[in-house]
Amino acid sequence: MLTHRKRAAHGFTLLEVLVVAAVICVLVGVLFAVLGAAREAAARTTCTNQLRQLATAVDMYRQQHGALPPHSYLGTRSTGEAEMITWQEILRPHVGPEDVFLCPSDPDTPPMSEQPVWDGRCWMYSSSYEYRQGLLQQERVYKPREDPEQEEMRKEDLRKANAAARHDILFICNYHDSGPRRAYNEKVRPRRYLLAHGDGSVTWEPLPDGL
Ligand SMILES: [Zn+2]
């Protein structure tokens, strides 16, 4: 009884205050971690959709021009200044007005409204994504032939071509899975990458050997 009255008179003990403060700190930490993870999950979903659009745009370009878009070529502006025409500009007509070249988790690349940027030699657009120009040279449309043996071979060729296309990487995003804090230009090698493939699929996996 006596202790109770004493405590009521003095409010909380120092120990109680410290314990409560520690608990609040832990809860806030957990909350931030959860919010950060949720934000990153949403960013990855957006990024996946963008990469899918870009892979589709490459396919549209390929159908129109019979070849993959070049990575870049040097042009000249009306002002006489050099301009690097990069794949972003080449693909722009195929992706609509949406800005699909920036990963939401990319802290470095300027928004498209602030592009192109002068890099000291020429004007150029940049993107969060690395364009790999996969090799989509094989015809992937199956056309039946009369000779059954030849048809078997063609089916096998088609299966191989589709398997190759599946691993044919067009775009890479490396802004995910490298820890929550990314300092400017910090070289952190992510464990997994978002990869856009030649068949339009996007996967979340470690980079295959040799890339
Ligand atoms: Zn991304």
1 located within any domain: no
Q: How many domains does the chain have?
A: 1
CA 142 to CA 23: how far, in whole Å?
64
Distance 43 CA to ligand 1 centre (A): 7
Give CB contacts under 8 A, 24+ apart, made by 125-128. Answer: 125/84, 125/86, 125/88, 125/89, 125/101, 126/86, 126/88, 127/86, 127/87, 127/88, 127/101, 127/102, 128/101, 128/102, 128/103, 128/173, 128/175
pLDDT confidence band for 162 (50 / 70 / 90): low
Give me the pLDDT at residue 139, please: 42
Q: Does residue 203 or residue 133 have the better pLDDT?
A: 203
Eight-class DSSP state of 69: P
Q: Which two tokens stand for residue 29?
A: 């930490």
49: left (phi over 0), alpha (psi -120 to 50) or beta: alpha
Asked whether the beta carbons of 129 and 103 are under 8 A apart, the reply is yes
The reply to whether 50 falls in a domain is: yes
In a domain, 10, yes or no: no
109 falls within a domain: yes
Whole domain around residue 39: which residue ranges?
33-205
Evaluate whether residue 211 is within a structural domain.
no
Residue 175 Cα to ligand 1 midpoint, Å, equals 5
- Give me the pLDDT at residue 137, please: 39
Average pLDDT over residues 164-193: 71
Residue pointed to by tokens 């006489």: 80
**Predicted local distance difference test score (pLDDT) of residue 97:** 65
Per the domain annotation, does 167 fall within a domain? yes
71 CA distance to ligand 1 middle (Å): 19
- Residue with the bigger pLDDT between 127 and 162: it is 127
Under the banding of pLDDT at 50, 70 and 90, the label for residue 138 is: very low
- Using 50, 70 and 90 to split pLDDT, how confident is the model at 141? very low
Residue 118 is assigned to a structural domain of this protein: yes
- Output the CA 27–ligand 1 centroid distance in Å: 29
Q: Over the stretch 56-97, which tens digit does the pLDDT of each residue have?
A: 999 888 888 887 888 888 888 888 888 888 899 889 888 876
Look up residue 19 and give its two tokens.
Answer: 């314990």
98: CA distance to ligand 1 center in Å?
A: 16
pLDDT for position 80: 86
pLDDT value, residue 50: 94
What separation in Å is there between the alpha carbon of 120 and the centre of ligand 1? 27
The answer as to whether 137 is a domain residue is yes
Cα(85) to centroid(ligand 1), Å: 23
* Rounded Cα gap, residues 98 and 77, in angstroms: 24
